[in-house]
Amino acid sequence: MVTKSTPLSLDDPVNRAILTVSEDRLAGFQHDPFGEIAARSGIDAAIVIERVRALLAAGTIRRVRQTLLSNNLADGALVAWQVPNERLHEAFEFMFQRDPFSGHVVIRTTDAVTAGSAYRLWTTVKVPQGYSLEKHCNLLAEKARAECYRLMPAKALFALGVGHTRRRGMEPGARSDRPADVIYPQVVRLTELEWRVLAALKREFACEDLCQHLWRARAEEAGLPLDDFCRVAEDFSGRGIIGRFSTFLEHVKETASGERVTRYNALFHWAVPPGRELEAGREVGRHHILTHAYWREGGPEFNDVNVMAVAHGMDKQLLLEHKAAIDAHLDSCGIQVSYTNVFWGGRSEIKPSEVLPQAYETWCEEVEVEPVAMRG
């Protein structure tokens, strides 16, 4: 039971123990997520549920949900948009409020005028199966009145895990003892029943939904016995379309207890020799500070960068020290970097990109576009 006396501070030892696990350590489908958090954190399951409810109600936890590896469910890309400054925030609002297929929406700056610094608006975009990513972005550019954009689909991923709590106090250069694994995006086709299970599985949980038997109501929603629902979800894990069960912290705005999870959001860029992108990405991705690392082609607009990564932190200089440690590691591996840069995040909003094909048809009707015209 949540009471006014339930501690909400991120530094509370119980909250910290829970969040260290619950942010990004529960990979795949978990039959009993709160039981698993309890087992790994040493905190009783009833207390885990109570604390997560309280933190969600207070807004310290932004959302609780089963994540998807949406790169394997829909064509997607990181997109940099060049928008005149006077229309920048209007375009931001459109991407955040009006396009359910845009996930991260961030206004970025560089410390100096460099290649690509005129591209201030950055978004992640996923377009459901059967529809064209390029046509979708052309429509967004028209609606948001962007001058141009750069589409950067991920050719490979090397790190994926937003665990802010466990990254606190991390020393620059901290890394695993072996290169990161490589994940290649590959779209998986689903049946009608599987889409139905996925829709129920991925929707975020409200406070009142959080309980020990978390999936029972979702199985009923999908019209399946619980065992069958879980069997399909387990199959999703094996096919590489399930990410993790996660409690996402509010890491942009101040929390109810007056704390900030992070202050700075850095997008690192490196240009490495063609043919060494995988090697460089695996060496970059082994650094624990990074929440994301991937091979994307920035093109001439961004001095041909091809390895990118994201890190968050409370101290800008410390983040630069983390990057310097990664730079030094690449050099020690004999990987020449011809160009590097940092794009700093300012205003930002984060929401899961919609991947359901039916949702795309509904959206087309809302923006008065024929769905057939948007097919790939």
Q: What are the sequence ranges of the domains in the chain? A: 13-70+191-249, 76-184+258-350
Q: Is the pTM of this model over 0.95?
A: no
Cβ–Cβ under 8 Å, residues 65 and 202: yes
Q: Say yes or no to pLDDT of 299 above 70.
A: yes
Q: Which of 296, 319, 299, 317 is nearest to 308 (CA)?
A: 296
Which of 1.10.630.10, 3.30.70.2860, 3.40.50.970, 3.30.70.3460 would CATH assign to domain 76-184+258-350? 3.30.70.3460
Lookup result for tokens 């990161």: 180
Residue 231 one-letter amino acid: R
Q: In the structure, what pLDDT confidence band is assigned to residue 169 with cuts at 50, 70 and 90?
A: low
Lookup result for tokens 């890491």: 251
Q: In the structure, what pLDDT confidence band is assigned to residue 181 with cuts at 50, 70 and 90?
A: very high
Q: In the structure, what pLDDT confidence band is assigned to residue 164 with cuts at 50, 70 and 90?
A: very low
User: 3-state DSSP call for residue 63?
Assistant: strand
Burial of 2 (0-12, 13-18, 19+ CB in 10 A): middle
Q: In the structure, what pLDDT confidence band is assigned to residue 87 with cuts at 50, 70 and 90?
A: very high
pLDDT of residue 250: 74
Percent of the chain predicted with pLDDT > 70: 93
Cβ–Cβ under 8 Å, residues 36 and 317: no
Q: Say yes or no to pLDDT of 1 above 80.
A: no
Q: Say yes or no to pLDDT of 166 above 60.
A: no
Task: For the domain covering 13-70+191-249, report its CATH number.
Answer: 1.10.10.2890
Lookup result for tokens 């060494």: 276
